[in-house]
Structure 1
Amino acid sequence: MAYKIAIASSDEIHIDETFGAAKLFHIFEINDGKYEKVEERFANENNQESQCGVSGGCSREGCHSAVSSGCNGNEGNSKKVQLIADCRCVICKKIGFQIQKQLERKAITVFDVSCTVNQALEKILFYYGKIDKCQSLRGAGSKKTVTDAEPV
């Protein structure tokens, strides 16, 4: 079964972006136990910092740039959720509770990890390989490293 994974990474090497701060998502397709990058999806083509003109925070009503990703934080995060709505899961450094709930409503699993992109993809391959075959993650021969990548 083929599916897509969205990864928040600034350099495509490390999982180093929070969901809210991610400017783009690297989209990988998983098929027959192998992964391949298929595209990049940009979360916002405009520089949000330049929208409000304040780098540390914004005084505009409804802006939460000090705690989220610039102006229109909640609206911007909702757009990001829509951007990756066709993905089975999203991998990022951290994610907020409200965004996580939005993703759950779309049946998108969230993994917040601190590792490299390749390590995360290998763990996800293992995890979904077991889940899709209705196999235990704790069975004989399975590695405990999957606990790092279990859904939040």
Structure 2
Amino acid sequence: MGYKIAVGSSDGVYIDEHFATALQFLIYEVDGDNYEFIEKRVNEELCECSRYHENKFAPLIEKIKDCRVLLVGKIGYGAAAVLQENGIDSYGICESVDVALDKIVKYYGKLNN
């Protein structure tokens, strides 16, 4: 069964976006050991980073709610916890998109076998 991965990348080459301020997410569809870029989702409204706003990540989560995994350059513990509550595993990783996708697809493939 396939799943989607959201990648926070400003240039499509490196994972370099911070979750709360990501300008876009690149969405990849995973099928077995293969993945394919399917679309770019632009964030027109950045995260409302007020500590007192309990749904500050809601607009960003809405963009990737159909994804199983999020790969970003940086993510805070609070954001990671909220994503986990929404069924999205998140990883802070700074490397090329292709290398990171290869690693995560292999990792999730082992989990499903």
State the TM-score, normalizing by the size of structure 1. Answer: 0.67
* Residue 84 (structure 1) aligns with: 64
Q: Deviations over 1:3-28 (max 9, x none)?
A: 00000000000011110120110000
* Residue 73 (structure 1) aligns with: 49
Greater share of residues in strand? 2
Q: 2:108 aligns with which of 121, 125, 128?
A: 128
* Residue 28 (structure 1) aligns with: 28
Work out the CA distance in 2 between the residues paired with 1:76 and 1:34.
34
* Residue 63 (structure 1) aligns with: none
Instruction: Give unpaired runs (5+ residues) of structure 2.
Output: none
Letter in 1 for 2:69: C
Work out the CA distance in 1 between the residues paired with 2:10 and 2:56.
18
Which of the pair has the greater relative contact order for Cα pairs under 8 Å at 6+ separation? 2
* Residue 114 (structure 1) aligns with: 94
Letter in 2 for 1:92: V
User: Residue 127 of structure 1: SS of its match in structure 2?
Assistant: helix
Give the number of aligned pairs: 109
Q: Contact 1:4 / 1:28 at 8 angstroms: preserved in 2?
A: yes
Q: Contact 2:9 / 2:15 at 8 angstroms: preserved in 1?
A: yes
Work out the CA distance in 1 between the residues paired with 2:2 and 2:78.
28
Shift of residue 76, structure 1, vs aligned partner: 5.2
Identity of aligned residues (%): 35
> Which structure has the larger Rg over C-alpha atoms?
1
Instruction: Give unpaired runs (5+ residues) of structure 1.
Output: 49-68, 134-152
Q: What is the aligned-residue RMSD (CA, Å)?
A: 1.5
Q: Contact 2:4 / 2:68 at 8 angstroms: preserved in 1?
A: yes
* Residue 37 (structure 2) aligns with: 37
